[in-house]
Every structure is written in C-alpha cells, then in structure tokens.
C-alpha cells in the first residue's frame, strides 16, 4: 500500500491486487467550448472528407471517447466511441482546418487524454507522440489548445514539430524500420502489433510538463537515455535516446498471449485453480507477492493468492469471475540479466463493463520460451511516486495551500538497516535525495522510515550519521516551496525519471546488503511533482457552491448518518478522479481511520456524486467542527493529485485550517 504524506494524512493508494473501481465506459470530460477568430485553411465539404485513425499508447486506448474541433474552435464531432482495437472512423470534417483531436480513455490502469492535429482528411492517429508534436507546435500544453481558435497551429509549425521529434528519435525510428520522414499523425499504426509505429510506442514513455515553458520528456522503456525537448528551441533539447539490441529479440506479442490466457483463467473459480490451464500454469517459478498477510512465494502460492483475491472482489464486494484483463501497457524493462523483466500493471474489465486496477508495479519475465507472470517485479518491495495537493478553506477567506511530495517505499527486509535514494542530474551525476532507516523500537515495521534532519519535520537528513526517524513506515519526503524543491524536480526532468536505491546492512549506510545478488536497484518514479510556478494550474477539481455549503452545515449526532452531494468542474483539463470522501478531521482521516466519515469510488467522466457519511464516534459532530471534503485521483502523467476543501469556523478569518 502506498500511504499518504504526513502533511495530509488523507490519501491512500490501493495495495497490489486490491481491486479498486476506476470507471465504467469512460468518456471524455467536457470542457466549455467557444467559437471565435478565423481559421488558416479553407472550408471542407462534409460529404467529401472524413477522418479515421487509431488511438494507442502501444496498446490501444481502452473505453475511449474522441472529439474534434476545427481551427475556429467549432465542434466538429464529440463523444465518438473508439473501438477496442483503438480505431475510429468516418468522422465528416466541417469548418476550417487544421482540426484538433482529443481522445480520452484508459492506458492500462491510467485514465489519460491524447491529442493530435490533422491538416487534411484521411488518417489521423492520436498517440503520445502526436500529443508531443501538438505541444511543440503550439507552444502550450495540449489541453489548453482544445478550445477557441489556435492560430499558432500552422502547417509550418506542425511540420517543424514533427521534424524535431524525428531528429531526436532517429535511432529508435531506425530500429523499428521507420523512415526519416515518418509522419506520426498519418503513418501506419496497428495497435498491439508491437511492430513499426506501435513498436516505437512500446519503446518510449512520453510525458508533457511545464517549467517556465511547456516541454516534452521522453523516457525509454526499451533502451537507454533521457530526452527533454522545448518548443522550437534546439538549445532547449537535452539528452538523447538509444535503442537496445536485446529489445529487438523480445517477443512482445507473447505478452498479449499471456494476458489472454490469464483472462481465460478468470472465467470461474474452477478455471482459476486449474493446475494445467489456470493461473498457476502462467506463473514464473520465481513468482512472489509481498502484501502483508497475503504474501506468497512460488507459482502455486502466488496463483492461489490471486485466485483468492479475485474471488473476494473489490473490498469484499463479490467475485470478479468473468472479468477480462486489458492489453498490457509496458512500463520499463530490465534487460541486464539473463532473462528480461518488464513492468506491467493489471487492469481488468468486470462483467458489468467497469474497469478496475488490480495491481501496480508488477512484472513479467521470460521462462521456458514464453512470457510468465512474475507478480512483484523486484525481489524486494520498492516503490517511488509523486504527489501534490491543494487545500482550500470554504467557510471563510484564506489563501489556498499547496504541497508536493515524493514517496519512497522500501520493504523492511530482515537485516536491512539503511537505504539511500539517489537521482541523476542532467550531467549524469548522482545526488542523494534521502536516507531511510529502521525506526527504534518499532515492531512489525513494513518499510523503512525517512531519516529526517530533526525527527519532527519531513526535511530529509543527507548525513547518515546525523538525524532521526519520526515513526515507522514514514515514507514521504515533503518538497520545499519554490526553487529549492524545484531543483529536485528538474533533475527528474533533465536526468531521467528514475532513482537508484542502494541497500545497506548497517545503520551507518556503509556495508552493502544484497537481495538476490544485488544491493542496488533502478526504480522508475511514478509521475513527477509539478514545479512550484505551475501548482495553481494543475487539473484540480473545482467543487460547486452547493457541495461546499453541504460540508459547512454538516452536523451528526453519535451513530447518525446523512449524505453529501457535490458537483465539480475542471478549469485546467481533466483528471482521472478515483475517490470522494468526507472527514471529521484531517489529522486522522487515512483509509480505515476513525475520522473518515464516508467514502465512494469515482469514475473519471463523472462530474457529480453523493457520499453517505456516518458519525461512528461517541461525541456529536457539530456544524462548527473541523470537516474536510476530499477529491483524489491521478493525472495522465501519473501524478497523484488531491484536493481538500476544509471548513473550520473556529479558526480566525484569513488563516488556514489546521488539524
């Protein structure tokens, strides 16, 4: 389980194999559209031209919807269903070109939006690389270009953006047999084929961000290096990507076979437990799961644990038999050993059509000439993630509070005394981010605790001889406001979104500790926190006035229940919302804690919901008590975002609510 930071004590991400509902039939979030200005093309008769293409991230985008705008911002098409193979077709073009396209759906467990620009009728693919081209051509984040006119999107700029991408990806294009003039919008794309354009999408992870100016960062899944690009500036490019010859021999189509066979094993309890065709037959001999009481090792034990999880269902709500696993989206692959180990996430669609996250940071490997499910991808539990939150007071005026953090979870294996987390800068130098150690006197410690400067705050000590832990399982590093915190984040932009975690057997962090012959691991960071200047413009959900009023007036006697309804909109693009809950106190509102009054799962396309709340305590909850309404989710770039709306009438006007 990836727990919440101390500054919030609100957010809990699901543990591996704990199924959490994400969405059913996800559709595009709708933003306000206005038509204004003039186009830079000519009118196109709808009867003569149509648009078709493929929406993919390597695997096809699942449960997707698509919309198209013309150059003036007029709606050409909306809520167009994308097929299970990622294809859409037959959209009649009207108005003036170029035409902007947005498509939103699931890439594995992540809800994300992809963008493209078509300058003419015909083929218009929508992929992470067409999103990158749109940013480089328009000089703005793509979601900001999806309303009104877009005069910066000229043919010349679009051509230059594609040329900038092709030049930076030359080695990877060549490895996939793609020419130096390949067009990312109109080129041939067969989602799931793992060849050509689709193979290129398998090989790279594309992230869009902003650091004074918008940028594109491309990280390798199959290969090496890190690439940072800014619009129209050769001097704004840092790094490069290289292909890996070992990757050329990987049978990635075999991954689809593995997932189809795993889906077949989910038909029933008997199918799951069948030793010849069930999950056990699809497990690696070294399979393992490390999830508290559900820890398991070996093919048979891991298969049994997974079958038990699917039988239990989401929060014990009932079996998930009949579900199917979505096509896997590769994370990064470790090709350094005798057999490859690739990261994947498990996303499944239940018989009701709902998409569930059934596990993250899992792995697959090659064994006996076929891909096998590994469970935990590393021999030691390691996780790195990024989070940000905004807290607003709703009963009086007070400035919004923004926080951002990194979380590093390091399994507290027996005899492991210390771990060092390092990141790489643009010059390839390693710099220490934090140390983690055992907490004195702790029993059943699940993971190492942050080694802090003073034992009170979240500032990490960078000297293993000086400092203290605060409490066991304290995994969160709060990043400072402003440029000091930005420096750490920019290293991820310029040096790569991975950290090196080194293990030690002594508290001085000097004697190496080995697990399966290794004492150091490269771990991808799930998302990267925003720099401080862009905190306000993250896709925070804006709750409408009636929901805030319901929070302010909420009062409950002991044992009493009620409901709170809220609706919201987004001013800065979409967010894959996952959870809506209400707390009596932020200080004790973690998952399962007493002050969490009620919660409900959310679907990303939903813009309103109702949560049932109950006062399980022995004292009344008064209208003037401290209460918080929370909406949490994850961006398409996998940053955990949480918005807190707090009411605290006892706190003077102008001050923030405190726990």
Residues 270 and 193 in one domain: no
pTM: 0.88
C-alpha pair distances (Å), 192 with each of 189, 297, 537: 9, 31, 34
Residues 244 and 254 in one domain: no
Residues 369 and 351 in one domain: yes
Of the three residues 248, 277, 293, the one that is the final residue of a domain is 248
Confirm if 541 and 575 have CB atoms less than 8 A apart: yes
Residue 505 lies in a domain: no
Confirm if 220 and 332 have CB atoms less than 8 A apart: yes
Residues 297 and 257 in one domain: yes
- Three-state SS at 198: helix
How far apart CA 526 and CA 634 sit, in angstroms, is 10
How far apart CA 501 and CA 424 sit, in angstroms, is 12
Q: Which domain holds residue 351?
A: 250-376
How far apart CA 243 and CA 251 sit, in angstroms, is 16
Residues 129 and 254 in one domain: no
Query: Which phi and psi (to 5°) does residue 172 adopt?
Result: -75, -35
Query: Which tens digits make up the pLDDT trace of 444-499?
Result: 899 999 999 999 888 899 999 999 999 988 999 999 999 999 999 999 999 999 99
Burial class (CB in 10 A: 0-12, 13-18, 19+), 324: middle
- Alpha carbon distance, N-terminus to C-terminus of the chain: 24
Q: What is the DSSP letter of 321?
A: T
Q: Nearest-CA neighbor of 148 among 92, 73, 248?
A: 73
* The pLDDT of residue 236: 60
Whose tokens are 């290293």? That residue is 491
Whose tokens are 């493929």? That residue is 54
Residue 566 lies in a domain: no
Residue 132 lies in a domain: yes
How far apart CA 211 and CA 490 sit, in angstroms, is 8
Residue 156 lies in a domain: yes
Counting the structural domains of the chain, the total is 2
How far apart CA 425 and CA 448 sit, in angstroms, is 25
Average pLDDT over the chain reads 88
How far apart CA 582 and CA 570 sit, in angstroms, is 20
Residue 525 lies in a domain: no
Residues 6+ apart with CB under 8 A from 360: 14, 16, 109, 345, 346, 526
Burial class (CB in 10 A: 0-12, 13-18, 19+), 369: exposed
- β-bridge mates for residue 198, sequence order: none
Total length of the chain: 659
Report helix angle 196-203 to 128-138, nearest 10.
Answer: 80
Alpha-helical (H) ranges within 176-289 are 196-203, 253-265, 269-273
Q: Which portions of the chain are predicted below pLDDT 70? A: 1-48, 234-236, 291-294, 315-316, 586-588, 659
Residue 113 lies in a domain: yes
Confirm if 653 and 398 have CB atoms less than 8 A apart: yes
Q: Nearest-CA neighbor of 421 among 462, 453, 363?
A: 462
Residues 6+ apart with CB under 8 A from 534: 210, 211
How far apart CA 403 and CA 642 sit, in angstroms, is 10
Residues 240 and 272 in one domain: no
Residues 215 and 258 in one domain: no
Give the count of beta carbons closer than 10 Å to the beta carbon of residue 272.
24
Residue 133 lies in a domain: yes
Residues 366 and 296 in one domain: yes
* The pLDDT of residue 291: 64
Q: Nearest-CA neighbor of 573 among 214, 84, 155, 221?
A: 214
Confirm if 3 and 471 have CB atoms less than 8 A apart: no
How far apart CA 644 and CA 375 sit, in angstroms, is 34
Q: Nearest-CA neighbor of 56 among 185, 183, 172, 191?
A: 191
Q: Nearest-CA neighbor of 567 among 622, 657, 625, 629?
A: 629
Instruction: Render the burial of 14-42: b for 16+ CB within 10 Å, e for the rest.
Output: bebbbbbbbbbebbbbebeeeeeeebbbe
Torsion of CA 86, 90, 95, 99, to 10 degrees: 20
Residues 242 and 318 in one domain: no
Of the three residues 248, 279, 304, the one that is the final residue of a domain is 248
Alpha-helical (H) ranges within 60-99 are none
Strand order in the sheet with 561-570: 541-543, 561-570, 608-614
How far apart CA 630 and CA 465 sit, in angstroms, is 39
Q: What does the DSSP assignment read for 548-601?
A: HHHHHH--B-TT-EEEEEEEEEESSS--EEEEEEEES-GGG-STT-TTEEEEEE
Of the three residues 376, 400, 418, the one that is the final residue of a domain is 376
Whose tokens are 């799962």? That residue is 601
Confirm if 418 and 509 have CB atoms less than 8 A apart: yes
For residue 558, give both structure tokens.
Answer: 């002991």
C-alpha pair distances (Å), 164 with each of 132, 204, 237: 10, 16, 10
- Three-state SS at 653: coil
Residues 274 and 311 in one domain: yes
Confirm if 467 and 453 have CB atoms less than 8 A apart: yes
Confirm if 362 and 289 have CB atoms less than 8 A apart: no
Residue 401 lies in a domain: no
User: What is the Cα 87 distance to its own chain's centre?
Assistant: 24
User: Measured over all CA atoms, what is the biggest interatomic distance in the chain, rounded to whole angstroms?
Assistant: 75
What is the domain-level CATH number for residue 365? 3.10.450
How far apart CA 614 and CA 582 sit, in angstroms, is 10
Query: Which tens digits make up the pLDDT trace of 208-223?
Result: 999 989 999 999 998 8
Q: What is the DSSP letter of 121?
A: S
HSE-CB at 3 with a 13 A cutoff on CA atoms is 20
- Three-state SS at 471: coil
* The pLDDT of residue 593: 75
- β-bridge mates for residue 405, sequence order: 387, 478
Residues 309 and 205 in one domain: no
Report helix angle 155-168 to 128-138, nearest 10.
Answer: 130
Q: Nearest-CA neighbor of 178 among 153, 204, 156, 154?
A: 204
Residues 163 and 261 in one domain: no
Q: Nearest-CA neighbor of 167 among 110, 99, 216, 212?
A: 216
Q: What is the DSSP letter of 119?
A: S
- Three-state SS at 639: coil
Torsion of CA 606, 610, 616, 622, to 10 degrees: 120
């Amino acid at each position: 389980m990836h727990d919440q930071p101390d500054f919030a004590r609100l957010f809990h991400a699901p543990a591996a194999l704990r199924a959490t509902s994400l969405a059913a039939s996800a559709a595009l979030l709708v933003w306000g559209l206005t038509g204004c200005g003039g186009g830079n093309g000519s009118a196109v008769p709808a009867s003569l031209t149509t648009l078709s293409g493929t929406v993919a991230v390597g695997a096809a985008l699942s449960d997707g919807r698509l919309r198209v705008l013309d150059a003036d911002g007029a709606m050409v098409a909306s809520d167009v269903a994308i097929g299970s193979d990622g294809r859409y077709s037959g959209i009649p073009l009207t108005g003036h070109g170029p035409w902007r396209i947005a498509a939103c759906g699931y890439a594995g467990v992540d809800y994300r939006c992809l963008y493209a620009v078509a300058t003419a009728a015909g083929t218009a693919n929508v992929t992470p690389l067409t999103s990158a081209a749109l940013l480089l051509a328009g000089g703005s984040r793509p979601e900001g270009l999806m309303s009104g006119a877009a005069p910066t999107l000229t043919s010349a700029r679009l051509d230059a953006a594609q040329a900038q991408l092709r030049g930076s990806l030359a080695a990877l294009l060549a490895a996939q047999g793609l020419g130096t003039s390949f067009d990312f919008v109109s080129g041939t794309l067969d989602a799931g084929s793992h060849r050509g354009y689709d193979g290129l999408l398998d090989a790279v992870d594309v992230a869009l961000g902003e650091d004074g100016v918008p940028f594109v960062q491309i990280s390798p899944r199959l290969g090496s290096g890190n690439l940072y690009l800014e619009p129209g500036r050769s001097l704004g490019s840092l790094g490069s990507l290289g292909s890996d010859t070992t990757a050329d021999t990987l049978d990635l189509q075999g991954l689809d076979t593995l997932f189809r066979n795993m889906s077949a094993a989910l038909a029933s309890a008997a199918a799951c437990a069948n030793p010849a065709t069930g999950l056990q037959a699809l497990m690696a001999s070294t399979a393992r799961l490390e999830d508290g009481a559900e820890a398991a090792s070996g093919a048979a034990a891991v298969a049994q644990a997974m079958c038990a999880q699917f039988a239990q269902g989401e929060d014990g709500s009932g079996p998930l038999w009949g579900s199917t696993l979505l096509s896997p989206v590769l994370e990064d692959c470790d090709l350094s050993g005798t057999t490859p180990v690739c990261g994947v996430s498990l996303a499944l669609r239940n018989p009701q059509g709902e998409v569930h996250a059934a596990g993250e940071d899992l792995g697959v490997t090659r064994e006996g000439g076929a891909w096998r499910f590994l469970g935990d991808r590393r021999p030691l539990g390691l996780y790195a993630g990024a989070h940000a939150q905004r807290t607003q007071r709703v009963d009086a005026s007070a400035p919004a509070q923004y926080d951002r953090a990194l979380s590093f979870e390091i399994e507290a294996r027996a005899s492991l005394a210390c771990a060092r987390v390092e990141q790489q800068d643009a010059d390839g130098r390693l710099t220490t981010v934090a140390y983690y150690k055992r907490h004195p006197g702790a029993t059943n410690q699940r993971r190492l605790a942050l080694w802090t400067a003073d034992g009170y705050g979240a500032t990490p000590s960078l000297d293993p001889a000086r400092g203290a832990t605060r409490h066991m399982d304290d995994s969160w590093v709060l990043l400072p406001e402003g440029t000091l915190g930005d420096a750490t984040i920019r290293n991820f932009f310029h040096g790569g979104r991975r950290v090196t975690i080194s293990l030690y057997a002594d508290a001085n962090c000097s004697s190496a500790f080995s697990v399966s012959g290794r004492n150091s691991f490269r771990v991808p960071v799930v998302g990267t926190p925003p720099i401080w200047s862009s905190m306000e413009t993250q896709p925070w959900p804006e709750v409408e006035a009636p929901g805030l009023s319901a929070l302010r007036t909420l009062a409950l006697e002991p044992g009493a229940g009620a409901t709170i309804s809220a609706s919201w909109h987004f001013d800065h693009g979409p967010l894959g919302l996952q959870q809506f809950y209400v707390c009596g106190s932020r200080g004790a509102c973690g998952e399962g804690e007493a002050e969490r009054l009620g919660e409900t799962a959310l679907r990303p396309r939903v813009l309103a919901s109702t949560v049932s709340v109950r006062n399980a305590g022995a004292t009344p909850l008064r209208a003037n008590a401290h209460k918080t309404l929370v909406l949490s989710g994850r961006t398409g770039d996998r940053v955990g975002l949480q918005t807190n709306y707090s009411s605290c009438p006892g706190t003077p006007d102008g001050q923030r609510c405190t726990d």
